[in-house]
Amino acid sequence: MGPQTIDYILLALKVVSIIFYFLVMWFLYHKSFKEDGDSTKPFYASFIINGFVDSFNILMMTFLLDVSSWGWFYDYFKYNEFFHRWSPVFSYLPIFWSEMGNFVITFNRFVALNFPMIYKCYWNWKVFIAFLIIQFSLPLIIYYYLIVEKTKLNYLEESNTYSLSMARSEISQRNNITATVFTSIIFTLTLIMCIFNVVKFTKIVNNKHEKKTVLPFILYCSFICFSMFFLCAAYAIKMIGTIIKSENVRAHAQSYVTSSMLCMTIIHPYLLLLINKRLRQKFLVFYLGFGKNNILPSTNVHTKRNGAISVIK
């Protein structure tokens, strides 16, 4: 009972990652979001919004899944009626808000790379707001029934921990089937877009300027796709555990969901700076003030009339 050493390590990682996430968001808002070309501004805007969503998701997962399993605040998790009513909604919505945010980012880069003329002409702030509304409203529409449902706290003798689950088993089964279908669809669509991105990249790989501009976004979207796959697989295992009515399988699968979501959320700030040398240099200059003379010139993706990609420094 209680947190193990690995739990403290993961908790510290979450805290550090949220702080670092906000540092990157603040940097993007003050520097790249204001200085870069119009082709990347919606991407950075989505990144910043997803930063808030991901941070909220991490906090909810930690409180609802980790803290409850440790036996902390037992009376609150076990008997508080208000908690039992709000926890079902926030056990699922933040997860799929984050996943939809990843999907929107991938779709943004997919259109910019494969249909540059359409992106330049039609992807404006109205389209951005429309996708933002879809990102938050679609999961809410899908899981509307959770508003009237409740959770309960179960004790698992095998692992000597607690597990938070739905009060009604049929709702748990519905949740997991819905989550499996939803994550499978989003993963499949993301995978298709990533494949098209890679095919497009093979056509411009010999152009050094275009390659340098496009490659970071392709790598970024590919890592997002991998994290979506792990989330989809975790929910499939959890669905099986619910169907066979095995609380231990379901609890272990929930830990896989938590790990997948942790990867899907905290990876963003590290990955963005790791794969983009220019952003990394500007980030270090912004906060530490060194390396200013070594910053690479910015590159923006523009389009020619024939739809080809051109890169202007």
How do residues 254-277 score in pLDDT, each as one tens digit?
777 777 778 888 888 888 888 888
* pLDDT tops 90 at residue 307: no
Alpha helices in the chain (DSSP H): 5-27, 33-35, 41-61, 68-70, 74-79, 81-114, 116-122, 125-142, 169-204, 208-243, 247-275, 277-288
- Let me know if residue 296 belongs to a domain: no
Structural domain includes residue 297: no
Of 196 and 1, the one with more pLDDT: 196
Residue 226 structural domain: 5-288
Q: Is residue 238 part of a domain?
A: yes
Residue 147 is given by DSSP the state G
The stretch 160-172 carries a mean pLDDT of 82
The answer to whether residue 117 is domain-embedded is: yes
CATH code, 187: 1.20.1070.10
From 176, 152, 173, select the one nearest 162 (Cα to Cα): 152
> Is residue 81 domain-resident?
yes
Which amino acid would we find at residue 47?
A: F
**Would residue 293 count as lying in a domain?**
no
Rounded to the nearest integer, the mean pLDDT of the chain is 82
Number of domains in the chain: 1
Q: Is residue 312 part of a domain?
A: no
- Is 284 within a domain? yes
Tell me the whole-structure pTM to 2 decimals.
0.83
Residue type, 175: N
